[in-house]
Structure 1
Amino acid sequence: MSAENATPGPGANVKVERIKRGWQQDQLAARAGLSKSMLGKIERGERPLTQSTAAALAYALGISLDALLGQAPPPKGGEDSLRDLRTVMRRFDMAGGDEAARAPHLEADLAELFRLRGDADLAAVTRRLPVLLRRVQDRAHATGLPADWARVADVYSAVYWLAARHRWMTMAELAVVRQHQAAERASGLARAVAARDEAGTFLNGGDFVGGLAVVDRGVVEAESAMKGRDRHVALGLLHLRGLTLAGRTGDKEAAARHEREARKAASHLDADVDVQGIHFGPENTLVHLVATWADLKEHGEALEVGERYLRDGPSLPATRIGPLHMNLARARLALRDREGAVDELAAAWKAAPQMARVHPTSQELSRVLVSLHRRSNPKITALARRAGIPL
């Protein structure tokens, strides 16, 4: 039997919360529908805590999923920006001055924000969001134009993305409420993206079935109200979210349905489309498939799809490539390829270092790999130092 692992990470939080309640492992395992053996491996750092298992454990413990996974701290120096951002979000219905309608350089500043989102530069996005959100809100109130309200919805989508990456779920959920309010004054595509992000809050909260219901509702609206390219993009984005949610529930039939519909939508596009930092098309469909195959424990299939995609030369930004390598690391670790898992995790850090630092999958893989290797592997030592894990 391995010694208990003291390396911090989401899986280690399970033991902390269990002991708080005075429960034995068999008590928590029974409540969560797990075997005692699996729970022990998670607590000792011999097996990574997956999102679906974390959701079951959080429910059994009577806490939120983000409480179990642990909220990430703000980027360095970002506390003031987050305070200002909350203020702007509260003032959603307060119009700015007449000068807001001019908003010089707004398009260039928005393009830069979405570029930074694609680069997974969490710190820079945090700094820019408060001022830019205030500017787009003021302009939309001044003009009342659907195009300007679409910009507001797009920026709130970036707020949701930032909050979800750090598991700040109160902010994420308010961002989605505001995003819906803006999208209702904008376009069908804005409403579809808002539905996708709303389903994301269910995903982040561990309510995968509720998230699927949100996706289905969004799909019905997009199918009935939209046409042309925007319809294909809207449906594709929604079905990719559905694919992820179905994978988390372990529902292979639902996953296959969402995969089929996402591929159908992608077939109408020559290449992936960038919707203000959110991508849909043939490439992002494959990236989502890797994650879903890993969730469904089809690890060989996940590796085959991911390796083929990387060989073909990916064009997606860091915000997609970083998680792709994390999911390939999950698959390799499950297939007992520890060295390969270390290399994939290192690639995730290289592609998107700020995301790797806060992402629960990266944190959990680091915890388990450090626990299994300890000081015997110089790659793990370097990885642990970057992740802030003591050896």
Structure 2
Amino acid sequence: MPSAVLLGYRIATARALAGLTRSQVSEASGVSVSMLRKLESGERSPSDAVLDVLAETLGTTADELLGGPGRTDSRVHRAIPAVQSAIATYDLPDDGPIRPTEALILGVDELTHHRVNSRYGQLAEQVPPLLEELFRALDTATGGHRRRVAHLLTLALRAADAVAYKFGYTDLSARLIGLMHWAADFAEDPALLAAAAYVRIEIYFASDRLSQGLRSVETALDAMPPLNTVTQVASAAALHMRAAVVAGRMRNADQARDHLSLAELLVRQVPERLYDGTAVGPDSLRIHQLAVAVELADPADLDRAMAGANRWEPPRTLAAERRSHYYIDLGRAQMQLGQREHALESLQVARRIAPQHVREHGQVRAQLATMLRLSRGRNEELRAFCRWTRAV
């Protein structure tokens, strides 16, 4: 999308958040209504002076209008340099203490728990020292113990990536994903390599290179050995679900449905739980089916998905982030069907389940901004939600 259009989008959203009409903004800023209309539509780009006066009138700053939503959780951003430092010497770790394996397992389990329940502040603060300890442990371990440590390190790196990716540190995220593959190689576990391939899709989402992302998932599926364990079956099912979402975002309905069908066959063989940090099972499949319907935006698929949503909700036994994802996608489906009030209700449910996840979710911010403009800023609950997420 051209920068002028993006800037116009943000100006219009900021005006709606302020509850002002174009005439009111014009009167306060001296920018004509016709010029304001052209700016909001992306037909014109404002000069620096005009942008400054509009930002002041709308109660924001020129930098925020130019750069998009601001940062939220300061705990996470304070911890990022420590994460970067922890991985800087991954292959030449400093000397230091290494706890018994049981303690390392508990530490990684806690990180994974924080990740799947969207507790990003706690996760960001706890991950650097544990990564450093696991790098030391891998450097000194041998044989089967080294494979076990490598497995733990891969999961810890995945937890670190969740923070980096969701808070916009895309270069750091790509580095962490590369290290996931490096550590997974030491583990010599095909299911863990599949988990790393699952996470790698984030790189392609961030760079909008979806066709390459779909190829990477399908390549990982082709590389998997015969599915002889429950964990391997679950890993393959997760990759098929991931591929379905990517194909859906590409509006490739045939590929998306094929991958969902293959995932459904595999999911019948595994109970719902976390496998190497990824939730897989019948409930997760239903959540992905809704996500694919939203990405495809096909009316028939949406009608089926909405009919299913009226009869089902994700059980509380699922991790908070996965349940929150479901209600975010439900809200997106409701928006596509013109049900704005229901969409806001769904986002509020998602917020109650996993507030940090919702607050940092780009699709939530975009959806709220659209809803705010369509309501012309008249819904105070919606305005408060937008302020909380910094959707402007």
Greater Cα offset, 72-81 or 202-211: 72-81
Give the match for residue 78 of structure 1.
76
Q: How many pairs were matched up? A: 332
Cα offset for 1:295? Answer: 0.7
Cα 1:160/1:342, change in 2 over 3 Å: same
User: C-alpha separation between the residues in 2 aligned to 1:89 and 1:232?
Assistant: 31
Q: Deviations over 1:303-358 (max 9, x none)?
A: 23334330x73531111111211111111111111110110111121111111111
Runs of 4+ in 1 over 6 A off after TM superposition: 40-44
Aligned AA (2:265): K
Rounded Cα–Cα distance in structure 2 between residues aligned with 1:303 and 1:352:
22
Deviation at 1:88, TM superposition (A): 1.3
Equivalent residues in 2 for 1:25-40, closer than 5 Å: none
Per-residue deviation at 1:125?
A: 1.0
Counterparts in 2 of 1:389 and 1:95: CA distance versus 1, 3 Å: closer
Aligned to 1:143: 141
Q: Which residue of the partner structure matches residue 91 of structure 1?
A: 89
1:32-77: CA deviations, max 9, x gaps? xxxxxxxx99979xxxxxxxxxxxxxxxxxxxxxxx9968636213
Distance between the aligned counterparts of 2:352 and 2:344, measured in 1? 12
1:247-262 matched pairs, under 5 angstroms? 247-262=248-263
> Partners in 1 of 2:259 and 2:41 — Cα distance?
30
Q: Equivalent of 1:6, from 2, 12, 19?
A: 12
Query: What is residue 109 of structure 1 aligned with on the other side?
Result: 107
Q: Quote the Cα distance in structure 1 between the aligned partners of 2:161 and 2:87.
A: 12
2:311 maps to: 308
- Counterpart-to-counterpart distance in 2, 1:383 and 1:190: 38
Q: Is the 8 A contact 1:92 1:137 kept in 2?
A: yes
**2:103 partner letter:** H
Kept in 2, the 8 Å contact 1:101–1:138? The answer is no
* Segment of structure 1 superposing worse, 260-269 or 87-96: 87-96
Contact 2:70–2:390 (8 Å) recurs in 1: no
2:185 is matched with 184
Between the aligned partners of 1:344 and 1:281, the Cα distance in structure 2 is 23
TM-score (norm 2): 0.78
The residue matched to 2:12 in structure 1 has which SS?
coil
In 1, Cα distance between equivalents of 2:167 and 2:386 = 20
How far did residue 166 of structure 1 move? 2.0
1:293 corresponds in structure 2 to 293
Hey, what's the Cα distance between the residues in 2 that align with 1:381 and 1:72?
16
Structure 1: gaps (5+ residues): 10-39, 45-67
Q: Is the 8 A contact 1:167 1:204 kept in 2?
A: no
C-alpha contact (below 8 Å) 2:114/2:123 kept by paired residues: yes
**3-state SS of the aligned residue for 1:183?**
helix
2-side partners of 1:252 and 1:69: how far apart?
A: 34
The equivalent residue for 1:217 is 219
In 1: Cα distance, 2:226 partner to 2:92 partner? 30
**What's the offset of the Cα at 1:225?**
5.4
**SS of residue matched to 2:98:** helix
Identity among equivalent positions (%) equals 19
2:200 aligns to what?
A: 198
1:315 partner SS: coil
1:272·1:284 contact (CA, 8 Å) conserved in 2?
yes
Per the alignment, residue 362 of structure 2 pairs with 360
CA deviation after TM superposition for structure 1 residue 160, in Å: 2.1
Equivalent pair of 1:188/1:225 in contact (CA under 8 Å):
no
Distance 1:69 1:331 in 2: 28
- Residue 98 of structure 2 corresponds to residue 100 of structure 1: yes
Bigger-Rg structure (1/2): 2
- CA shift for structure 1 position 181: 0.5
Shift of 1:206: 1.0
8 A Cα contact 1:199 1:215, kept in partner: yes
Structural mapping, 1:19-30, within 5 Å: none
- What aligned pairs does 1:218-367 form with structure 2 within 5 A after superposition? 218-222=220-224, 224=225, 226-269=227-270, 271-298=271-298, 299-310=302-313, 313-367=315-369
In the TM superposition, residue 98 of structure 1 has moved relative to its aligned partner by 6.8
Could you tell me how far 1:105 is from its partner in structure 2? 2.2
Q: Which residue of 1 aligns with 2:30?
A: none
8 A contact 1:103–1:139 mirrored in 2 = no
Partner Cα separation in structure 2 for residue 180 and residue 282 of structure 1: 28
Change (3 A) 1:149 1:326: same
Q: Output the aligned Cα RMSD.
A: 2.6
Mapping of residues 162-181 of structure 1, within 5 Å: 162-181=163-182
Match runs of 1:42-53 below 5 Å: none
CA distance in 2, matches of 1:168, 1:319: 20
Separation of aligned partners in 1, 2:68 and 2:192? 31
